[in-house]
Structure 1
Amino acid sequence: MKSSFRQSIAYGALASALLCIPSMAAAQQTPAAQGDLAEGADIEEPEEPESPSAGDPYTIVVTAQGRAQSLADVPIAVSAISGELLEQAGTTDIRELNQIAPSLLISSTGNEANGSARIRGIGTVGDNAGLESSVAVFIDGVYRSRSGNALSELGPIDRVEILRGPQGTLGGRNSSAGLINIYTAPPEFETSAYGAFTYGNYDTIRAEAGFNVPFGDTLAARVDGVYFKRDGFYNDVINDVDVNNRDRYLVRAQALFEPNADVSFRLVADYSKKDEACCAATFVQPGFAPLATVSPGLDPYARPEPGSPALTSTSNPIVNALLGLGQDPRALTQDTFNRDIYLTPGRTYDGETEDYGVSGELNWSFGNASLTSITGYREYSNFQGSDTDYTTVDLLYRAPNEFGGARYFETFTQELRLQGTAFDDRLDWLVGGYYANESLRVQDNLRFGEQYGNFVNCRLAIAINPALLNPSADNCFGQNILALQGANNGAGAFGPATPLIIAGINNLAQVRDVGGTGDIYNQESDNFALFTHNIVHLTDKLDLTLGLRYTNETKDFDATFGNDNTICPTNRALLSPLLQVPSLAGLAGGIISLSCQGNSTSELDGVTLADTRDEDEFTGTAVLSYQPNPDTLLYASYSRGYKAGGFNLDRSALSNPVFFNVNTLDPSSLQFAEETVNAFEVGVKYSTRPFSVSVAAFRQEFSNFQLNTFNGSVFLVQNINSCGTDLGGADMDDSATTGACDPDDVQPGVVAQGVELETTVSPVRDLSFTFGATYADTSYEDNLIGDDSGAPLDPALRLLPGDNLSNAPEITVTSSVSWTPELTSSGIRGLFFLNGRMVSDYNTGSDLLYGKEQDAYVTVNGRVGITGPDRAWALELWANNLFDVDYTQVAFNTPFVAPQQTYSAYLAEPRTYGITVRAGF
């Protein structure tokens, strides 16, 4: 890691110093820059005062509770970012919101579709499409099926709002951790046009343009387009291509119809496409993660001793096997953040993504009531090829075609809200309904490579006796296998079973370029909800808010499998009798498992499964708020959240490969339960023109927390709970049978608690700065169990009890400073903007294995330039990750390089910089 912890401290001091630097956003923009706004936030701009001190404070109108209220009246923890701040920060997709919102973390892994958002440390790993996101994403009020579906160009944005904590009482899709609401720039009743062009390092080219045209006083239309192309951050040395490039575009067209003051209808249609190679990874080295070293007994669950050799060194026996099979040694010795990669010849990460849809929003006011209707239809498709083992050795791959880890979503949503007042405005009432239909198809062609059988035989040789290792031989034993047969045709190393073991080893060596030929998973989801949200004004200063929601979720699942791995059933029939022999069960089971890994077996070829699940859940909220004056609000709240259960769309969850029986497959084994949360929060807000601050303290208790983790071979999905009785460490051993709990003693398994602070200060019109800080202790409880029936925790998760969740730093600080001084009397202004984000240490692996740690770091972005009168033109120089700080998004177990494990990591973006010119009227 280039940036040591000491450097991080220095950068942290610099980021803190940003708070004292004059800033550029004009004071009238500051309230929306980073404060507590909420859904539907708008800023009414009064006439410009004669001087900064003579003006009235801006009125911030929000509709977070479904009705127009001033900011100080809204007892909800929400961060909001204005379109102008997003432009200054260079934000073009939701991952870049990390730099602005301290409680938010968005990352992506092996595929652009795998994006994952976390709020207060809570999120869902996105690699398995069967799991919905803990943090829901809405664009113009329309739900995006998974967080990764929103990882694309956004175009011009009006504002972004991040609601923290469980949501859903007011409408839209349920979410257990929070919401991200993105509002694109709407049509206006003035003629305008704009264009922007950016050129930067990595041959970055980004062009954006749009125009807005009114057609009389009742109809206006707007069209925006974005094109973005950039070279990749990784250099594939073997295949002479770059990876993690950008080649994408977006077109969005809108129409706004306002026939009178009571009716408004907005129609939005958009289409985006990406044709890119994603996502490469490098080996984790001790220079970055000091615990990425050989552990005692080569046990990945044992804490390595200081000064141990690197996992990528030849002290790790599996590395010798990789090298013997042709692994390029440079990949094993270079720095973690050297972005040269050494893949299998001919393998590629090429992929394609299409995303398009149409939505309509109707707002109709009549008397003391109003109706809102939001209708949306969307389609999303993605496929991505991959060298899935990330090595030069050909172990595992997906071909880049329509079956290459492909996802297809077709979604229809309809939301209706009716609201009004009663009892002389003592009651603000709201009732509504929500319906969503989602068709999901996942297609996969994951296959073993040409060298898979040879490599896994090397694993067996190491397990039996490392001296037997001969990677140059087809079965990785060669003549050394004679040592197993015994002299003069004696009993051999395994007694009478020796011929069977040797035959199994030789069969395993023939597992070459076999596996999935086209697995198809279909899931049809119907979700409907009825909800009400009411504010009772007990006095002029004291309010009671009560909300209730009923949700019904039905999911129908079916799957059809295609596979041509005939070695698996052959070895199963050959070696299954040895599973009854205690001294041979482990070795025989290992050969079967490696032959049939992930249920890769021709026994599944043509097999079809089907299942269904139905859920009913009540959720709601209760808030007591007190407003002693118009600028101050104190509140205390309780809310219950919910996230639907579903199906693990990974065939490996069907059965243990060793005991697999196609005639007894139970599709219910793919199910996981719904996730629920009870959340408590107290907060205070103070908001005036020159200064605003909000503080919230929270505690969230999650039951059936949905955890998805990759253990080096398969994806595991478990509902994490805890046991009220001490399990005596049985949840932290390597047995899958110990650590059960009485079902009546099951308790929440994950708790997130902490404090959030956000402030905005604007002492004069052209100066402003923001500061945000989050302390979140987001941890697993002790005595963990695998589901609410009290089943034991999977041993692959035995490091979880009592530790923090992955990608959940305890401390996060963000700050920004901005300054837009007037340079000439004609209206030309300067532009100076910096923002920073500091996070404390955290582990990036969902299984919390040692060596996946990420040290504290600070990232700083900056932009300087000049703008013309009324922002008619601009010239800007910018840099993201200004100090080129190296950090990872996620570290993971290198596939199949187990049990002598190595780790690979998806790296965050390096420093980027460039120049942008803008013009418009």
Structure 2
Amino acid sequence: MLVRANLATSVASAGLALALAAPAHAASEAPASDAPVAEKSGGGAPAAPVDDSIVVTARRRAETVQTVPLAVTVVGGAHIENTGAFNVGRLTQLTPTLQFYSSNPRNTSVNIRGLGAPLGLTNDGIEQGVGVYIDDVFYARAASSTFDFLDVSRIEVLRGPQGTLFGKNTTAGALNITTRAPTFDPEARLEATAGNLGFVQLKGAVSGPLSDTLAVRLAGSFTQRDGTIYNVTQRQWINSQDNKGARLQFLWRPSSGVEVTLAGDYNKQNPNCCALVYVRTGATQRPANRQYAALAAAQNYAVPSTNPFDRLTDEDVALRAKNETGGVSLRAKIQTGLGTITSITAWRFWDWDPSNDRDYLGLPITTKSNNPSHQDQYTQELRLTGETGRFNYTVGAFGFYQKIHTTGVQQQGPAASKFLIAPSNALSNDPSVLNGLTASNDITLKNTSAAIYGKFGYKLTDTLSIQPGVRLNYDKKDGVYNSTVTDGNGNLVVFKINPATGKSANSSREAAQLAVLAPQYFVANFSDWNLSGDVTLAWDPTRDVHVYGTYARSFKSGGINLNGVPSNTDGTPLLQFATIKPERVNHFEVGIKTQFWGRKGTFNVAAFRTEINDYQAQVSNYTVGALRGYLANAEKVRTQGVEVDFALRPSERFSVYSNAAYTDAKYVRFKNAPCPPELSGGTQPVDSNGNLTSPPAAPGVSGVSPLSCDISGQVLPGVSKWSFSYGGEVNLPVQAFGGEGQVYLGVDGNYRSRFSSNPTPSAYTWVEGYALTNFRLGVRRDGRFDIYGWVRNAFDTKYFDQLAVASGNTGLIVGQVGDPRTYGLTVRTQF
């Protein structure tokens, strides 16, 4: 009892220390996995990402990664820590088919094989296609993926539809993250890192028993780093990191057949973030005096540098990206004669408080562009997993309720009139026309989802099995979009119609204001039932060869456009754009998993083809107004490719791995897509039937713009055709820290070929391919102590995370530059 009392005191003391010294940051919370997983510690090299002994719970039962018949990449906690992959953005460097884009936490996309969520501004009214689960709890907002991983045991990246295995439907795949559970053996983990750019990261966890049946675990993390962009206006470095988080778990095990975990977490980010820098300009079809060069010259303005890798900006709005999330979950597992019953009850919240400079320049054009948002979500999942003879099963029911309230504001500044109104209009010389013009948005969404699902398996022979799955889903969304506009004097700006003529009765001043910010109000509703399913055939011809084939008929729920919709000339919203149809998915996949050389080597191959009808695509009308982007259904898209995972560990002294992916993702049919900026911005004279009366001009030539463009056959955004990750480690035995240890050298890296960074491919927004290489050199002893120096992006590769078309279609292209070379020292201990 004295040991337990001391441990309880240690836990409380550690918690206080973490709260005072580094109120930790975490990737999230939650309870233990369905099966315990022994993490490889010991003195040898960390296991490569593919390992026959790694146990996964991707199918809600304990299986080794090599025998589970689906494409899954498993990254263990030790590998995550050693490679510095402390968030999802870094995880993409280890898993080639995972894509992550984040201009700020709210505008974050997590995709697998090019599918998941549209690349661009987040729309509250749609679902994400890649499910993020932490200890079985579904995270509805992709913003949660920007937080640091905390005390992670392993991450499973499941590729392809997973709706018959998970509570919330996941059409593109899932990130199944398992944290370390409370232990009945006392343990503690501490880690401290310091590096250039003022980088400081502290992590800690302590765990142990409070009684014979109750264990506790407290974990915390703190990350801070100076920014990588210098703001010459504010005279400070921006795009910094500031992450804190903590998680507390209690595990109650009253008997061998009952296990209950209560978990709570809180996570906070408050960096000076997030700026995009000038990259280039490209000609649009606007008149020359309305393109960037002329507009900037008219105000005697020049950016501080036209080389984006000088890492300079002069954005004149104070930036903020305050991001808070947390919640509580209760997870109960009961062993019965039918199998294991698991119940997961959870509540989560998300608060987003931003400040942005959406003109990306040092001119006061847009002085406010913020969308503070609050979300509450409630989930309940109940499932039964069991096996009898040749038959196994997982059946479950899932309920989800989410409420989002967003209160946005966009305000124009004193430079807006000259930049946004045509120079031929005398009003362009009157700053008061647009100065103080403000759109105040009030947006709400209520999202309800319920499902029953099941996955079954039957062994036809000792080596051949069939595994069908089914899902019945109901979704309902209710949304309200309300945007009011006031001028600089606080007067409402509205559309006025002359009842006698049916034409606009607005003054020229009001017309100029409405062309920039327009009021809009609409209510939209969506509801739908869907039945989907899949079937897998698995064959194990030998102990070390496993073959599978899968067909899945899946769907992604329809949604509501809550960023505003196009309107007609009198401001009436076009409600046919208010809702988005569900995606209908047909997925085919075959794979083979093999091991050789006495299981020292692993070689896995998967080939897939996914076809989606009514793909939910992000579009933009490239106007100067507040309608920055909305969603529409592309008729059909397709992604197909091949993935290869290779790992070799001939001895405890040496290991290597390599993962490769070829992904061919394109629009099969999208005939009425928005045109790229080089074909936009010109006049659009139409006849009574809505047809252009003049032929479109050539790209970048001032004149007539097409009403829409056929981009069938062009690539989906954000997808590299080729991507690779690779790494290895070699170590030698030494006497270290009073015992036998190893000195080791490790390397890991990744490459991706060029990709389009705009929903409609544009000549101006291709991100060129790049390779990143990281090194680490250190010494460790028996898994208890580890000290190593590291360098990331060792060759200081200059690259972009993404490019974007600035609003107004002036031809300005801005970008998010990737991290430069960073280096530091990490000390880790475990006892």
**TM-based fold match above 0.5:** yes
Which residue of 487, 493, 504 maps to 1:565?
A: 487
SS of structure 2 residue aligned to 1:75: coil
Partner of residue 611, structure 1: 524
1:4-23 matched pairs, under 5 angstroms: none
Letter in 1 for 2:720: P
1:75-86 matched pairs, under 5 angstroms: 75-86=69-80
Letter in 2 for 1:872: R
Q: Spell out, residue by residue over 1:624-666, the C-alpha distance to the aligned partner (whole angstroms, 9 max, x if none).
A: 1111122211111101222222211113x1524x3314xxx56
Shift, 1:847, TM fit: 2.2
Question: Does residue 1:871 correspond to 2:783, yes or no?
Answer: yes
Instruction: Summarize the Cα distance change of 1:621–1:850 in structure 2 as closer, same or farther, 3 Å threshold.
Output: same
Instruction: Summarize the Cα distance change of 1:48–1:915 in structure 2 as closer, same or farther, 3 Å threshold.
Output: closer
SS of structure 1 residue aligned to 2:632: strand
Instruction: Summarize the Cα distance change of 1:65–1:475 in structure 2 as closer, same or farther, 3 Å threshold.
Output: same
1:579-728 matched pairs, under 5 angstroms: 594-597=512-515, 599-601=517-519, 609-651=522-564, 653=565, 655-656=567-568, 658-661=569-572, 665=573, 669-687=577-595, 689-713=599-623, 714-722=627-635
Q: Spell out, residue by residue over 1:754-779, the C-alpha distance to the aligned partner (whole angstroms, 9 max, x if none).
A: 11101111111231111111001000
1:295-374 matched pairs, under 5 angstroms: 317-331=291-305, 334-344=306-316, 347-374=317-344
| Alpha-carbon distance between aligned partners in 1 of 2:204 and 2:621, rounded to the nearest angstrom | 45
Partner of residue 21, structure 2: none
| Alpha-carbon distance between aligned partners in 1 of 2:319 and 2:488, rounded to the nearest angstrom | 28
Letter in 2 for 1:810: K
Letter in 1 for 2:746: F
Instruction: Summarize the Cα distance change of 1:394–1:217 in structure 2 as closer, same or farther, 3 Å threshold.
Output: same
Partner of residue 259, structure 1: 254
Instruction: Summarize the Cα distance change of 1:851–1:560 in structure 2 as closer, same or farther, 3 Å threshold.
Output: closer
Residues 673 and 711 in structure 2, CA contact (< 8 A), matched pair in contact too: no
Residues 613 and 646 in structure 1, CA contact (< 8 A), matched pair in contact too: yes
Q: Spell out, residue by residue over 1:589-613, the C-alpha distance to the aligned partner (whole angstroms, 9 max, x if none).
A: 9997752246534xx5xx6x43322
1:186-205 matched pairs, under 5 angstroms: 186-205=181-200
Instruction: Summarize the Cα distance change of 1:827–1:429 in structure 2 as closer, same or farther, 3 Å threshold.
Output: same
Instruction: Summarize the Cα distance change of 1:720–1:873 in structure 2 as closer, same or farther, 3 Å threshold.
Output: same
Partner of residue 394, structure 2: 430
Instruction: Summarize the Cα distance change of 1:783–1:95 in structure 2 as closer, same or farther, 3 Å threshold.
Output: closer
| Alpha-carbon distance between aligned partners in 1 of 2:499 and 2:202, rounded to the nearest angstrom | 62
Residues 40 and 62 in structure 1, CA contact (< 8 A), matched pair in contact too: no
Partner of residue 467, structure 1: none
Residues 42 and 62 in structure 1, CA contact (< 8 A), matched pair in contact too: no
Instruction: Summarize the Cα distance change of 1:228–1:796 in structure 2 as closer, same or farther, 3 Å threshold.
Output: farther
Letter in 1 for 2:723: T
Question: Does residue 1:383 correspond to 2:353, yes or no?
Answer: yes
1:33-72 matched pairs, under 5 angstroms: 59-72=53-66
Shift, 1:514, TM fit: 1.3
Instruction: Summarize the Cα distance change of 1:565–1:641 in structure 2 as closer, same or farther, 3 Å threshold.
Output: farther
Instruction: Summarize the Cα distance change of 1:590–1:630 in structure 2 as closer, same or farther, 3 Å threshold.
Output: farther
Shift, 1:871, TM fit: 2.5
Instruction: Out of 318-327 and 380-389, give the one that drifted further.
Output: 318-327
Instruction: Summarize the Cα distance change of 1:554–1:829 in structure 2 as closer, same or farther, 3 Å threshold.
Output: same
Residues 518 and 571 in structure 2, CA contact (< 8 A), matched pair in contact too: no
| Alpha-carbon distance between aligned partners in 2 of 1:69 and 1:202, rounded to the nearest angstrom | 42
Q: Spell out, residue by residue over 1:843-898, the C-alpha distance to the aligned partner (whole angstroms, 9 max, x if none).
A: 11122121111111101122211113x232222111222212122122111122x2
| Alpha-carbon distance between aligned partners in 2 of 1:905 and 1:659, rounded to the nearest angstrom | 35
Partner of residue 654, structure 2: 767
Partner of residue 666, structure 2: 779
Normalising by structure 2, report the TM-score.
0.85
More strand by share: 2
| Alpha-carbon distance between aligned partners in 1 of 2:355 and 2:61, rounded to the nearest angstrom | 47
Instruction: Summarize the Cα distance change of 1:330–1:315 in structure 2 as closer, same or farther, 3 Å threshold.
Output: farther
SS of structure 1 residue aligned to 2:143: helix
Partner of residue 108, structure 2: 115
Residues 622 and 639 in structure 1, CA contact (< 8 A), matched pair in contact too: yes
Identity of aligned residues (%): 25
SS of structure 1 residue aligned to 2:209: strand
Partner of residue 817, structure 1: 728
Shift, 1:547, TM fit: 0.3
Letter in 1 for 2:717: S
Letter in 2 for 1:363: K
| Alpha-carbon distance between aligned partners in 1 of 2:72 and 2:488, rounded to the nearest angstrom | 55
Partner of residue 18, structure 1: none
| Alpha-carbon distance between aligned partners in 2 of 1:704 and 1:590, rounded to the nearest angstrom | 40
1:135-154 matched pairs, under 5 angstroms: 135-154=130-149
Letter in 1 for 2:470: L
Larger Rg belongs to? 1
Instruction: Out of 356-365 and 126-135, give the one that drifted further.
Output: 126-135
Residues 213 and 220 in structure 1, CA contact (< 8 A), matched pair in contact too: yes
Unaligned runs of 5+ in 2: 1-32, 675-689, 692-704
Residues 176 and 675 in structure 1, CA contact (< 8 A), matched pair in contact too: no
Shift, 1:137, TM fit: 0.9
Q: Spell out, residue by residue over 1:418-442, the C-alpha distance to the aligned partner (whole angstroms, 9 max, x if none).
A: 12234xx121122210111111112
Instruction: Summarize the Cα distance change of 1:570–1:211 in structure 2 as closer, same or farther, 3 Å threshold.
Output: closer
Partner of residue 99, structure 1: 93
Shift, 1:262, TM fit: 1.3
Shift, 1:476, TM fit: 4.1
Instruction: Summarize the Cα distance change of 1:594–1:338 in structure 2 as closer, same or farther, 3 Å threshold.
Output: farther
Partner of residue 472, structure 2: 550
SS of structure 2 residue aligned to 1:824: strand
Which residue of 515, 531, 536 maps to 2:458?
A: 536
| Alpha-carbon distance between aligned partners in 1 of 2:40 and 2:144, rounded to the nearest angstrom | 38
Instruction: Summarize the Cα distance change of 1:186–1:555 in structure 2 as closer, same or farther, 3 Å threshold.
Output: same
1:821-840 matched pairs, under 5 angstroms: 821-824=732-735, 826-840=739-753
Normalising by structure 1, report the TM-score.
0.77
SS of structure 2 residue aligned to 1:875: strand
Residues 796 and 847 in structure 1, CA contact (< 8 A), matched pair in contact too: no
Shift, 1:175, TM fit: 1.7
SS of structure 2 residue aligned to 1:238: coil
Q: Spell out, residue by residue over 1:318-374, the C-alpha distance to the aligned partner (whole angstroms, 9 max, x if none).
A: 32222332423434xx21222110123xx1112311111111222211224221111
| Alpha-carbon distance between aligned partners in 1 of 2:708 and 2:725, rounded to the nearest angstrom | 32
SS of structure 1 residue aligned to 2:191: strand
SS of structure 2 residue aligned to 1:239: coil
Q: Spell out, residue by residue over 1:209-246, the C-alpha distance to the aligned partner (whole angstroms, 9 max, x if none).
A: 22112124322111111112211111110122222112
Residues 647 and 655 in structure 2, CA contact (< 8 A), matched pair in contact too: yes
| Alpha-carbon distance between aligned partners in 2 of 1:189 and 1:49, rounded to the nearest angstrom | 23
Residues 395 and 448 in structure 1, CA contact (< 8 A), matched pair in contact too: yes
Residues 333 and 343 in structure 2, CA contact (< 8 A), matched pair in contact too: yes
Higher RCO, 1 vs 2 (CA within 8 Å, ≥6 residues apart): 1
| Alpha-carbon distance between aligned partners in 1 of 2:707 and 2:173, rounded to the nearest angstrom | 28
Letter in 2 for 1:323: A
Question: Does residue 1:886 correspond to 2:773, yes or no?
Answer: no
Letter in 2 for 1:911: R
| Alpha-carbon distance between aligned partners in 2 of 1:795 and 1:852, rounded to the nearest angstrom | 20
Q: Spell out, residue by residue over 1:119-138, the C-alpha distance to the aligned partner (whole angstroms, 9 max, x if none).
A: 11123135222222221211
Q: CA RMSD in A?
A: 3.2
| Alpha-carbon distance between aligned partners in 2 of 1:858 and 1:259, rounded to the nearest angstrom | 52
